[in-house]
Copies of this chain bind each other. A is one copy, B any other.
Amino acid sequence: MLQTAFDFCVTHTEGRARRGVMKTAHGEVETPAFMPVGTQGAVKGLTHRDLEALGAQILLSNTYHLYLRPGDDLVARRGGLHRFIGWPKPILTDSGGYQVFSLAARRTITEEGVRFRSHLDGSSHLLTPEKATDIQAQLGSDIAMVLDECLAHPAAADVARQSMARTLRWAERARARMLALREAPVAGVTIANPGQAQFGIVQGSVFPDLREESAGGTVAVGFEAYAIGGLSVGEPPDVMYDIVGATTPRLPQGRPRYLMGAGTPEDLVEAVARGVDLFDCVLPTRNARNGQLFTSEGRINIKNARYAEDDRPADPGCGCYTCRTFSRAYLRHLFVTGELNAATLNTLHNLNFYLDTLRGIREAIAFGRFESFRLAFHQRLSRRSHDS
């Protein structure tokens, strides 16, 4: 019988905001934490040592992509994802559901699971709650997510109810499979990480009653921790904040809460204020590759002609390698000429901004001044209108 290495401890609170330590099979993560997205086992444009130097403590990787290439069997034969990608710290994998549901015309949902066609070669695959659990067991991430149905926004109430109910039934199946894998060897599934944890996911779109039912049902199934899914999909920020604020009290105090796919720096601060501990988002990395930089005074688009002769760093208040070394004029030149380094230097800055924001949040909570941090954070951002 395998036992999860997972544990969580809240060390400080201020209002509903919490600071804590999450323990995984590959080390500890200070929370609230932001997880950079390494879709295919790498954060686009950054080496692992750059990530470590930025203070990243945990990576997110995508089951859908790794399942298709290089395949979870191959990763398992390599000793699991940590060994395969050379990242010894914690890794969380999603279930693959989000990508599969994004395929739209290429997938059909049944009670059994989701049948989809690969975006690479059109081959047909069936992703079930059990299969998503097996794939992640073979990848050997420290935290596996259950397969959930990700609804687009907006969704009608009856559609959202049916979807939420199915996600709950899938959660039960995923958990049963996880417990079976822990109980005894299963043919065809290599357990790459015996200490893997599994998180359940609360759904229910923007409907408070559905969220309440989903939270209750998911907690009743019993996971190592819980995520809030189906937000940051196009609804107004205030709606997201309200749903988050209404959901966290229905999740166990002693377990981390993970707001999936969020968000802007402002979203992170507001979600922490409502009791969230974990985040992932492609914004800092994807926007970096599109030339958008997050700064302490708002976002700037480095391709803008106004920066052609601007000798200041991207963010004068930032201490990252990019800002210590390079001017906006040079960053613009790299972007305009299509140099690979544009992606690297912009990504490095944006991730530093996110990780620094989380460091600031953790420090503030520890010293009981999170509310003043939150106020100053929003004031500073609003002082200058975005140029994007």
- Which residues of A are in contact with B by a Cβ distance under 8 Å? 40-49, 65, 69-70, 74, 77-78, 84-86, 308-309, 311, 321, 325-327, 329-330, 333-334, 336-337, 339-341, 343-345
Whether B340 pairs with A340 at a CB distance below 8 angstroms is yes
- The answer on a CB contact under 8 Å between A336 and B69 is yes
Known: A327-B84, A330-B86. A74 touches B341 (CB 8 A): no
Q: Cβ of A327 and Cβ of B86 under 8 Å apart? A: yes
Interface pair A85/B330, CB less than 8 Å apart: yes
**A133 shortest CB reach to chain B, Å:** 23
Smallest CB–CB gap between A40 and chain B, Å? 5
- What 3 pairs between A and B have smallest CB-CB spacing? A42-B341, A45-B340, A86-B325
Contact A78 B309 (CB under 8 A): yes
Q: How far is the CA of A333 from the CA of B84 in the complex (A)?
A: 10
**B45 lies within 8 A of A341 (CB):** yes
Most chain B beta-carbon contacts within 10 A, residue among A69, A311, A330: A330
Q: How many angstroms from the CA of A49 to the CA of B85 in the assembled complex?
A: 23
Complex: how many Å from CA A49 to CA B42?
20
CB closest chain-B residue, reference A342: B42
A47 / chain B contacts, CB cutoff of 8 Å = 321, 341, 344-345
Q: Report the Cα distance A24→B357, complex, angstroms.
A: 43
Q: Smallest CB–CB gap between A345 and chain B, Å?
A: 7
Contact A44 B330 (CB under 8 A): no
Central interface residue in A44, A77, A308, A333, by most chain B CB within 10 Å: A333
Q: Which residue of B lies closest to A289 (CB)?
A: B340
Instruction: List B contacts of A343 (CB < 8 A).
Output: 340
Q: Which of B41, B333, B345 contacts A40 (CB 8 A)?
A: B333
- In the complex the two chains form, is B339's CB within 8 Å of A84's CB? no
* A327 CA / B47 CA spacing, docked (Å): 14
Contact yes or no, A329 B40, CB < 8 A: no
A-B CB contact pairs (8 Å), 12 listed: A40-B333, A40-B334, A40-B337, A41-B330, A47-B345, A69-B333, A69-B337, A74-B308, A77-B309, A86-B327, A340-B340, A340-B344
A343 to B46, CA, bound (A): 11
- Given A344-B340, A344-B344: A329 in contact with B44 (beta carbons within 8 A): no
Q: How far is the CA of A85 from the CA of B330 in the complex (A)?
A: 6
User: Which residues of chain B are within 8 angstroms of A43 by Cβ–Cβ distance?
Assistant: 341
A74 CB contacts on chain B under 8 angstroms: 308-309, 329
Cβ B308 vs Cβ A70 within 8 A: yes
